[in-house]
Amino acid sequence: MAIVLGPNRYGKAETRLVRVSRDGDTHALVDLNVSVALSGDLAATHLTGDNSGVLPTDTMKNTVYAFAKEHGVGEPEAFALLLGRHFVATQEQVHTAKISIESFAWDRLGPHSFQKRGDHTRTTVVTVTADAVQVVSGVTGLVLLNSTDSEFHGFVEDRFTTLPPATDRILATAVDARWRHLGDDTDWGKSFTGALDALVRAFVGTYSYSLQQTLYAMGNEVLTARPEIAEVRLALPNKHHYLVDLSRFDLANDNEVFIAGDRPYGLIEGTVTRDDAPPALAEWWL
């Protein structure tokens, strides 16, 4: 039996970057968490400790900061493409560069004052090879809740089932969504805003008989609204809300007072895609 080295990569994870653009008295702020992962002809460092093909991860970190100064940052997809193409073009031994970015939003309070927005995080994962690129945008931690227009009944029951059917329940989730673009040249800011609006619009507008139904509606709305997107992948945790029993206090609870559950929770995951979408360059499940 032979033992061989399998797929591998290395890089610099979570380089924190804050870029201030000082255009007169009005400043702009970009706050990113940038991770770089490179793969290719790198077996020697694993097998013999030969580092002649290893670009130090410290160099990757410095490249992120230097590019932020030399080129600016702009939209995270554009910055990730710039970094990924640089590493593949300048390092012959590197065949694939994967750049992952978390973007933290700040709301403007004045010309040079900001307040950090905490309701969700924008994400970007760009994969670059010598011949192709793949751009995946997304959002994580987008908490949504419908206080009605949600049911759940008609499910399988066995001897371990205790969950009662529900005809009027709270539906809440923290959306973790990714969407793969058809190309690498689009208005990234407009595309992200449009996809985010579509996700929210579908959640609000869907009378839900299951969180699975809501997931499909959200993905379908994104693809309908944004022709530049090939497919959408979503992970929706079911943020359970349990009705509190107030009968011991001689009080009726008419679907008004709930316990917000923490864990365990149901987790619904799925993909909504165009039937003619080209295959992915690299795996990009959540």
Contact of 181 with 124, CB cutoff 8 Å: no
Where the chain has pLDDT below 50, the residues are: none
The pLDDT score that the predictor gives to residue 286 is 65
> What are the structure tokens assigned to 232, written together?
């959408």
Rounded Cα gap, residues 75 and 129, in angstroms:
21
Contact criterion met (CB below 8 Å) for 174 and 240 = no
Q: Cite the DSSP H helix spans in the chain.
A: 43-47, 57-71, 76-90, 188-205, 211-225
| Contact between 230 and 181 (Cβ < 8 Å) | yes
**What is the model's pLDDT at position 119?**
87
Among the listed residues 61, 98, 120, 240, the single catalytic one is 240
Q: Identify the CATH number of the domain defined by range 9-131.
A: 3.10.270.10
Please check whether residue 23 is in contact with residue 72, taking contact to mean a CB–CB distance below 8 angstroms.
Answer: no
Query: Can 69 be counted among the known catalytic residues?
Result: no
Is 241 a residue of the active site? Answer: no
Per-residue three-class SS string for 218-265: HHHHHHHHCCCEEEEEEEEEECCEEECCCHHHCCCCCCCCEEECCCCC
Q: What's the CA gap between 63 and 70, in Å, rounded?
A: 10
Cross-strand bridge partners of residue 18: 31
Residue for token digits 């890089």? Answer: 11
| Confidence at residue 256, expressed as pLDDT on a 0 to 100 scale | 96
Spatial contact of 73 and 18, defined as CB atoms under 8 Å apart? no
DSSP 174: E
CA distance 198 to 203: 9
Q: What is the DSSP letter of 87?
A: H
CB 17 within 8 A of CB 76: no
The active-site residue, picked from 57, 121, 140, 271, is 57
Check: CB of residue 142 under 8 Å from CB of residue 202: no
Distances (CA, A) of 12 to 5, 38, 65, 110, 112: 21, 9, 13, 34, 31
Nearest one of 157, 278, 150, 267 to 214, comparing CA atoms: 150
Residue that the structure tokens 């989730």 belong to: 173
Q: Specify whether 57 is catalytic.
A: yes
pLDDT confidence of residue 106? 96
267 contacts 238 by C-beta, under 8 angstroms: yes
Closest by CA to 17, choosing from 59, 92, 85, 67, is 67
Q: Is 34 exposed, middle or buried (0-12, 13-18, 19+ CB in 10 A)?
A: buried
Per domain, the residue ranges of the chain are: 9-131, 142-286
* Same fold: 9-131 with 142-286: yes
CATH of domain 142-286: 3.10.270.10
Residues 232-277: pLDDT tens digits? Answer: 999 999 999 999 999 999 999 999 999 999 999 999 999 999 999 9
Strand partners of residue 158? none
